[in-house]
Chains A and B, each alone.
Chain A
Amino acid sequence: MDLANLLESCRAGDELAWEMLVRQTQSRVYGIAMTYVRDRDEARDLSQDIFVRVYRNLDGCKDADRFLPWLVRIARNACIDHLRRRKARPPARDIPADEALRLVAPDEAPDEEMERQARRRVVETALHSLSEINREIILLKDMQGLALEEIARLLNLPLGTVKSRSSRARLELAKAVQDLVGPAGAEATA
């Protein structure tokens, strides 16, 4: 079933279509939430709220080709709202970023899995050392694969600015990784 039909069925109230759409996009939405909140449980709750928003606003996405940018836009707005609320009312406990990366890969050897976890931890920490705008550009461009035009529209920035910032943000990320693991960081993170 292609996305256009799936969306149409969702809009018509087909519960199975909605379930399929949730299953297809949940990891992506969770990934976005994780990038913003860095806490597994919080990201999970936030993802659920994002899907409720998506469900309420399904009529707002007429064009299936633009579904992904639309989804990312809703997810981003929800995350920003959540962070604003959290700033006003901080959570009862802080959870270290390490804990947020307990991702399961049962088919890998323990050493490989540990290495992968370490690599992810380093990149996540480096990602959060970037400025907010650079982090968002990496999230939207390199993580979610949105087009530069779409990112410019989303962030309300000129296309040229997004282009140059995207390039700078990547370099900053690479340098931040090197700062964390040393100049030979390529081997450690490869």
Chain B
Amino acid sequence: MNTRCTAWEALLDAHLGGGLAADDAAFFRSHAAACDRCRDLLRLVSADLPALAGEEAPRLADSVIAVTSGPACGRAEALLGARPDGGLSADESLLLQGHLDHCRACADLALTLESALATVRELAEPELDPAFTFDVLRATSATRARKRGGALPRLADRFGAWWQGQAARPQFAWEVAFAATVVLVLLFGTPLSPARRAPAKALAAVQASPGWMIDTAGDLTGVAGERIGGVRQDVTERRNRTAPDRADLLRHGREAGAALLHGNFDTAAQRLRAAGGDLTRLWRDWRDDGSAAAD
């Protein structure tokens, strides 16, 4: 083998591909005619090689892969997962497809993945009943009114949402009980409490009550039966007169409680104001008639 043979071999691929220039073709032919070794090589590469028949080719590939790199399924799976994003290069797509053509497990996985993702996309927008839109519009109409009302109602709205969240917490009742206890202790239970004397006064009032009651009882037993009847009648009249006020007070109190529980503070405040009005009216009705009776 000499330098001419080396130059001839360099032209071999081009010759097989039919792309030799005229000068090179002349040299290629003349050298092949003169050199036995190069002529044999040309005959060998130009002849049709016997192909592996039937299932032999994949078997051979599998056995070669098994003793060299090992199965490429891991790499194929990595590409499979990235394929829906369109992030594979042309070469990677080609390599993946080549693997899928020969690996049944990966081909199954690819089909399952494709089908599952199509179903996932279907799940993105399930059908809804037509009433849903109206329910949403109804729910947002209250919010709309608040939005138009200014910053204060919006703040109340946010506070209401926060309150609802708090009320839904299981620890909420304990926390409220704890806070109420602290408030009571601060109000009545310490030497600096503003209402520290209230319990003593209340106790004194209670202790004084029996004497008053005995006096009243003595008076009552001392007077005639019509006097007792008169007191009873007076109390009944007062009760009857204030019955609507008491019913209003009860109703407004219940509504305020329900609104407070649902975090609707505007409504709760309205109802509490109304309850305050009821209470004032009730007291006035009860007392005024008493004074009138005294007159």
Contacts and interface: CB of A to CB of B under 8 A. Distances in A.
Interface of A: 13, 15, 18-19, 22-23, 26-28, 30-31, 34-35, 44, 47-49, 51-52, 55-56, 81, 85, 88-89, 103-105, 116, 119-120, 123-124, 126-127, 138, 142-145, 148, 163, 166-171, 173-175, 177-178, 183-186, 189-190
A54 to B, nearest CB: 9
A185 B132 contact: no
Interface residues of B, number: 44
B123 A124 contact: yes
B140 A51 contact: yes
Contacts of B117: 142, 170, 173
B143 interface: yes
B133 interface: yes
Given A15-B144, A123-B119, A143-B121, A26 B112 contact: no
A123 B116 contact: yes
A174 B140 contact: no
B85 A166 contact: yes
Contact of B137 (A15, A120, A175): A15
B75 interface: no
Most buried by B among A13, A119, A120, A142: A142
19 contacts: A15-B144, A22-B137, A26-B136, A27-B127, A31-B125, A44-B132, A48-B132, A55-B140, A89-B168, A89-B169, A89-B170, A143-B123, A167-B78, A168-B81, A171-B77, A174-B109, A174-B113, A183-B105, A186-B114
A143 B126 CA distance: 11
Interface of B: 77-78, 80-82, 84-85, 87, 105, 108-109, 111-117, 119-128, 132-133, 135-137, 139-140, 143-144, 147-148, 157, 165, 168-170
Nearest to B107: A186
B116 A177 contact: yes
Contact of A18 (B105, B135, B140): B140
A40 to B, nearest CB: 9
A24 to B, nearest CB: 10
A185 B136 contact: no
B116 A44 contact: no
A124 to B, nearest CB: 7
Given A85-B165, A89-B170, A26 B132 contact: yes
A108 to B, nearest CB: 12
Contact of B139 (A31, A52, A104): A52
Contacts of B78: 167
Nearest to A165: B81
Nearest to B77: A171
Contacts of B157: 56
Given A55-B144, A85-B168, A190 B111 contact: yes
A88 B165 CA distance: 11
B131 to A, nearest CB: 10
A120 B119 CA distance: 6
A18 B121 CA distance: 26
A56 B126 contact: no
Lowest 6 A-B CB distances belong to which pairs? A167-B81, A186-B111, A27-B125, A174-B113, A123-B119, A189-B115
B84 A142 contact: yes
A140 to B, nearest CB: 11
Nearest to B129: A44
Nearest to A138: B120
A148 B84 CA distance: 13
Nearest to B141: A15
B115 A18 contact: no
Given A44-B128, A51-B136, A138-B120, A88 B143 contact: no
Given A15-B144, A28-B124, A55-B140, A119 B113 contact: no
